[in-house]
Amino acid sequence: MIVIPVRVCGDAWSNGDEVKALLEQTSNNTTIQLDFYHEGVSLQAIGLLQILDQYCASTGRDPATISLIRNPNHAEKTAYKNFSNIRNHCLGIVKNYWQEAPVPDQDARVFAYFLGRRTIARSYILYDLWHSMADSFLFSSMHNRGPEPWVRSPQGINLETVSDWMNSETFDSFCSWFQSCPVSSIDGHAVSDHYDSNQNIHRDLLLHYNKFQIELIAETYTMGNTFFPTEKTFRPIMAAKPFVIYGPKNFLSRLREMGFETYSTCWDENYDQLEGPARWHAIKQVLADIKISDVDWQIAHRNRQHLRKLVYDH
């Protein structure tokens, strides 16, 4: 048996050439395990599904001899065995920051958008909102680890690229704005604090949840047939906040399958049929149309109760 690592982090697959080379070097009588180090990636979105299909077709290998481990994306059905029964660990993390739901201040902003690890999509959303709806938003942007994703030479395959989001004129303005970004971390945390067990970044961020009413969430995996809600989704649910989510297609419908309610009675959720920039542009229109008086706050409180059952009873 050979174990081949597949290194994907959110928006980029960094070792595609290595995976292809190891596949080509593996004899047909050797079983293969593809080991994923991050949960939720869509094999089709990163191009791995096409590589595996072509590899099996050209070598005559039985797809049943290839298995996937540590990849709990059960939304995407393939011919390859997914042996991951990993429970979403982000649910367990909720216990570390569970507290009373904050009551919004009288002068609370309508929306909040919290940017952690920067990707091209998440960063463009911050740039776009700052220039169009800043008065309605509470913003936060953590200090990023390493070079910005739009200035480094990308390694491997990036799922969303600058050209998906911006033309050259907008890109120049975007880069100039981020060089002296006026949005800082609201609680002083940096992205590196995610990896420090002595930090409780979620509890610290929740100290600011009385300052807004609705959260705009930008999830980690946003392309392809995938569903892996992270703390970005569970934290506002714990805090009884309504939400709008930039994520992959059908993210909201799959949340409903988990037992949560979404907000189609309060605003248009047809954006859930879209992905990438099209999803964002639809969401931006939704944000412009939302009226606080139309929000059903009981949905948020029922979602909090359901999350508590998932976290503590199961």
CATH of span 90-313: 3.40.50
Instruction: Tell me which residue of 218, 269, 267, 271 sits closest to 247, measured CA to CA.
Output: 218
Higher-confidence residue of 284 and 195: namely 284
Cα separation, 97 vs 201, in Å, equals 9
Establish how many alpha carbons lie within 13 A of residue 32's alpha carbon, considering only the half-sphere containing its beta carbon.
Answer: 25
In this prediction, residue 41 carries a pLDDT of: 85
The model's confidence at residue 55, banded by pLDDT at 50, 70 and 90, is very high
Cα 118 to Cα 12, 127, 196, 253: the distances in Å are: 12, 12, 18, 26
Average pLDDT over residues 120-147: 93
In this prediction, residue 152 carries a pLDDT of: 65
In this prediction, residue 191 carries a pLDDT of: 87
Beta bridge partners of 264: none
In this prediction, residue 31 carries a pLDDT of: 92
The answer to whether 307 and 94 have CB atoms below 8 angstroms apart is yes
Cα separation, 81 vs 69, in Å, equals 9
CB atoms within 10 A of CB 124: 22
Cα separation, 314 vs 100, in Å, equals 20
The pair of structure tokens assigned to 204 is: 């610290």
Rounded percentage of the chain residues whose pLDDT exceeds 70: 96
Question: Domain extents for the chain?
Answer: 2-86, 90-313
Higher-confidence residue of 89 and 269: namely 269
The answer to whether 14 and 47 have CB atoms below 8 angstroms apart is no
The model's confidence at residue 88, banded by pLDDT at 50, 70 and 90, is confident
In this prediction, residue 153 carries a pLDDT of: 54
Average pLDDT over residues 10-18: 84
Cα separation, 115 vs 123, in Å, equals 8
Average pLDDT over residues 207-233: 95
Cα 249 to Cα 26, 269, 272: the distances in Å are: 35, 11, 5
The model's confidence at residue 98, banded by pLDDT at 50, 70 and 90, is very high
Evaluate if residue 11 carries a pLDDT over 80.
no
Instruction: Choose from 2-6, 12-16, 151-155 the range with maximum mean pLDDT.
Output: 2-6
pLDDT 10s digits, 268-291: 999 999 999 999 999 999 999 999
Average pLDDT over residues 209-232: 94
Evaluate if residue 99 carries a pLDDT over 60.
yes
What is the DSSP-derived secondary structure letter of residue 188?
S
In this prediction, residue 155 carries a pLDDT of: 57
For 219, counting Cβ atoms within 10 Å of its Cβ (0-12 exposed, 13-18 middle, 19+ buried), the class is buried
What is the DSSP-derived secondary structure letter of residue 309?
I
Average pLDDT, the chain: 91
Residues 6+ apart with CB under 8 A from 18: 5
Evaluate if residue 314 carries a pLDDT over 70.
no
Cα separation, 138 vs 109, in Å, equals 6
Cα separation, 290 vs 270, in Å, equals 14
The answer to whether 38 and 10 have CB atoms below 8 angstroms apart is yes
Instruction: Tell me which residue of 74, 77, 25 sits closest to 49, measured CA to CA.
Output: 77
In this prediction, residue 282 carries a pLDDT of: 98
Instruction: Choose from 74-83, 161-170, 206-215, 222-231 the range with maximum mean pLDDT.
Output: 206-215
In this prediction, residue 193 carries a pLDDT of: 83
